Structure 1
Amino acid sequence: MTDVNMQDTTYEAGMGDYFALLKPRVMSLVVFTALVGLFVAPVPVHPFIAFVGILCVAVGAGASGALNMWWDADIDRIMRRTAKRPIPSGRVQPEEALAIGLALSGFSVVLLALATNFLAAFLLAFTIFFYAVVYSMWLKRSTPQNIVIGGLSGALPPMIGWAIATGSISVESVLMTALIFMWTPPHFWALAIFVKSDYGNAGVPMLTETHGRRVTRNHIMGYMVALVPVSLAIAFTSIGGPIYLAVALIWNGWFLSACYKVWRRDEEVAESDGFAAERAAFKVSLAYLFLHFVALFAEAALAPLGFGGWSWL
């Protein structure tokens, strides 16, 4: 990591600045998918243990965010989108962010091991390591496939939730992880096409910067085609059912159509209408993942009433 030249103005950090280090928006997705992974697992979990487990996942996600901001402080200072983050703006010192990230990492992993099981703790530790070291320190600045490989860290929370409940890994937890992993590239790259970024100025080889929009459109379509069978396969596992299948069919059709429109677009036309198709695909991607996990939650919630899964048909 290169040295960061802080602004001359000094600030006194508040709780909001330290909370911002934890990337709360990213944390919310992590918590939601981990909670669903825990809830749909076949083994009941005491509410207090479930609360502690999800809390550890949230803290671990926040630790990853703090370590990422510590490492990326030099490029965050260059990019307009990130220049106002706590470290480049001078409100939080890099040493503070590093200490917070390491402390929260150790706390979350140890507590999760004591409260649940060692597999869940190992998966959480691996997730933190993968995001902070493999993605932030290595992949992000070395390959345009950074968001693809690095997406594994954001895809693992439902597997952690499942492990909290069962102490094991299953086909179901692997498929939930694969769903997020395959969803990440079309979701992120649809955004990258229409958002003018300054990754190039910061030396970050994002696909849109290194290969251009045409290649990015091809990648979006390729990953979308690969995402469809993963999504549909979940419907025929123990956590799936007709509710999930209906949601998956509708939203795969919608997202696939949106990505196809992005793929076939001419650059001049796209620029002339303000990247309308790309913006639409990004919005669909947000609802796509959320509703898939809501549908899984609904299947599990209705199971005690005899309406979840395929058994009631």
Structure 2
Amino acid sequence: MGASVVADAADLTPEWLSEALGGTVTAVDRRRVGSGQIGACYRLELEGAEGVPRRLVAKLASEDVAVRSFLASAYRAEVSFYEELAATVAVRTPRCHYAALAEDGATFVLLLDDLFPAAQGDQLTGCTPERAADAVVNLAGLHGPRWCDPALLDLPWLSAVSEDDAAGLGGAFGPAVETFVERFTGRLAERDAGTLRDTAGAIAAWVLARADRFGLVHGDYRLDNLLFPPAPGRGVTAVDWQTLSIGHPARDLAYFLCTSLDPGDRAAHERALVEAYHAALAWYGVKGYDLDTCFEDYRFAALQGPLITVLGCAYGTRTERGDEMFLTMAARSCAAIRELGSLDLI
């Protein structure tokens, strides 16, 4: 690492960028982008020598200094993904030009390709089955190349869920569900509240189940974390790797399909979409994993939707759009759990 870690956007100077990029930067224009609940993102327009990128996105630690230490594991996961894992998988993600993490993990910096004119998906609006197909094939590029790879278990910053972790999750998720139900009284359907409570009772056993199939799990693979090229182009790109973990790969698949598609579209197209994902896994060399088993894993994994939705609501900064998003995701994922019989598989 030639350049240091920067904790403030004001430190993204031409001098610092020249050292980080290994080329002379003579001027930089910075503009804040995104909501920045976990970190801060800036679009950089650069002037300088030949070979210096003209546009980049810089990701930095949260501007709220008080929360940085609590987010250290998330920062470490994203920096380590780009440094150690991105080149070993086939999922499309922005090219990383520079990555650095402070020793205490509380500050970091990433310089990533700006993928303009690709546009962020919209969790509220949802997406078409065609865009969903693009996203699930890209997701297989994360899972397939490192499918059940024991070397993943040796990475000190990346670990599978233990029994103690599962018990702690179960203890935290139940109260979070009750808080969610209370917050949205009158807006959350009664049957969805019931499904959330049933999910809370099963979550500790669920998170440990089917451990014979494991791999890299993005953890928050949804439309707001995907960049789509202008229609009719294909080639979605995944961003935001702070929630990376080891787990059952179908958790990403179910979370994406069950929270991104209107329930009617999901029910009509989910078999074909799982088939597309499964075919891509086979192309990456995954063997001994038939389509029927994959589809059952998808059904089983649908609890990822309520898990991430409720916890995200509990610990995120409250906004009007966020409330609408969490309600929409909860309704879609609860409908999927009921229709797929997910709780019967635990």
Using the size of structure 1 for normalisation, the TM-score is 0.28
Structure with bigger strand share is 2
The structure in which a higher percent of residues are helix is: 1
